[in-house]
Amino acid sequence: MSTQEPEFEPASSENFVNLVRNKIPDEETIYDLAELFKVFGDSTRTKILSCLEVKDLYVGEIAEILNMSISAVSHQLRVLRNAKLVRGTKEGKEVKYALDDNHVMMIIECGLSHLKEDHNHDEHAD
Amino acid sequence: MSTQEPEFEPASSENFVNLVRNKIPDEETIYDLAELFKVFGDSTRTKILSCLEVKDLYVGEIAEILNMSISAVSHQLRVLRNAKLVRGTKEGKEVKYALDDNHVMMIIECGLSHLKEDHNHDEHAD
C-alpha cells in the first residue's frame, strides 16, 4: 500500500469499477440514447411534440397552430418519425400524427417537472 | 360553406387552434426544455449520468470507470451541474456527485425503454 495521500477516495478497487461498468448500458445503447435526446433538443420539434401531447393532428393543423409552413412542419415530422417519437396513421389521403408511445410523453413531462423544480441545494451537504 | 375539397380535416376553426395553443407550454418553457434535452444529447454526459444512476461518485471515480481524464469528466460535470442534472455535495476536500433528482433518472429510463420497444407500427392503421 502506498503512503502517498490519495487525491480522492480510493475507488480504485477493480471490483468497484467493474461493478459500475457492468451496470451502465453498453456503448451502442449510450450512443443511441444520446441521439434520441438530440432529437428532443430542438425547440420546434419540442413544440410539435407538445401539440401532439394535446391531441393527434394532421400536418396542416400543426402548421396552423404553430404559425409555420407545412413544409417546415413536414421536415420536422420526418425527423421525429425517423427517431420513432411520432407515428403516422393513414386516414384516406391524409396522415394523422400521434406520439409514438407513452415514453415520449413521459420524457417531456419529466423534463417540464425538472424545469419547474427548485434547485437551490447545490454544494450544500444534505 | 365552400364547395372546395379541403386539403386536410378542417382544423381551421379559431377555437380548435386556440385550444391546442393554450395547452402547450409557452415559448420560453419550450426553449428551456429543448436546451435541457440538448444536455442529455451527448454520449459522454449520458455515460456520466448512467454511472451516477448506479451510485453517487467522486470525479476521480467517474474518470476511472469511464477511462477518461479527470479534466474531461470535470468539464462535463460542470455542464451537467449548470443544467441542474447533477449536484455536488462537499465531503471534506472532495465533492461527491449525485443525480439532481428522480426526474433525471426517469428521463434516462424512459429513453432506454423507448429504445428497447418494437416500433413496427408506423403507417399502419391501429
Q: Which of A21, A33, A114 sits opposite B111 (nearest CB)?
A: A33
Q: At A16, is the pLDDT very low, low, confident or very high (cuts 50, 70, 90)?
A: confident
| Contact call for residues A50 and A42 (beta carbons, < 8 A) | no
Q: At B117, is the pLDDT very low, low, confident or very high (cuts 50, 70, 90)?
A: confident
Averaged pLDDT for residues A83-87? 96
Distance from CA of B22 to the nearest CA of A (A): 10
**Cross-chain residue pair B46–A36, CB shorter than 8 Å:** no
Position B121, amino acid = H
Residues A44, B27: Cα–Cα separation, whole Å: 10
**Cross-chain residue pair B46–A34, CB shorter than 8 Å:** yes
Averaged pLDDT for residues B33-48? 97
Averaged pLDDT for residues B72-76? 97
**Cross-chain residue pair A33–B103, CB shorter than 8 Å:** no
Q: At B124, is the pLDDT very low, low, confident or very high (cuts 50, 70, 90)?
A: very low
Residues B88, B104: Cα–Cα separation, whole Å: 15
Please report the domains of chain A, with CATH numbers, ordered by start residue.
23-116 (1.10.10.10)
Q: Compare B120 and B43 and report the one with higher pLDDT.
A: B43
pLDDT of residue A45: 98
Distance from CA of A1 to the nearest CA of B (A): 19
**Cross-chain residue pair A30–B21, CB shorter than 8 Å:** no
Q: Quick check: A86 pLDDT over 60?
A: yes
Residue B88's SS3 state is: strand
Averaged pLDDT for residues B6-19? 66
Q: Quick check: A122 pLDDT over 50?
A: no
Q: Which of A87, A103, A115 sits opposite B33 (nearest CB)?
A: A115
Average pLDDT, chain B: 87
- B11-26 core/surface letters (b: 16 or more CB in 10 A; e: else): beeeebbeebeeebbe
Distance from CA of B73 to the nearest CA of A (A): 14
Q: At B14, is the pLDDT very low, low, confident or very high (cuts 50, 70, 90)?
A: confident
| Contact call for residues B70 and A70 (beta carbons, < 8 A) | no
Q: Beta strands A57-58 and A86-91: pairing type?
A: unpaired
Q: Quick check: B17 pLDDT over 50?
A: yes
Q: At B126, is the pLDDT very low, low, confident or very high (cuts 50, 70, 90)?
A: very low
Chain A residues in contact with B31 (beta carbon < 8 A) = 43
Q: At A124, is the pLDDT very low, low, confident or very high (cuts 50, 70, 90)?
A: very low
Averaged pLDDT for residues A60-78? 97
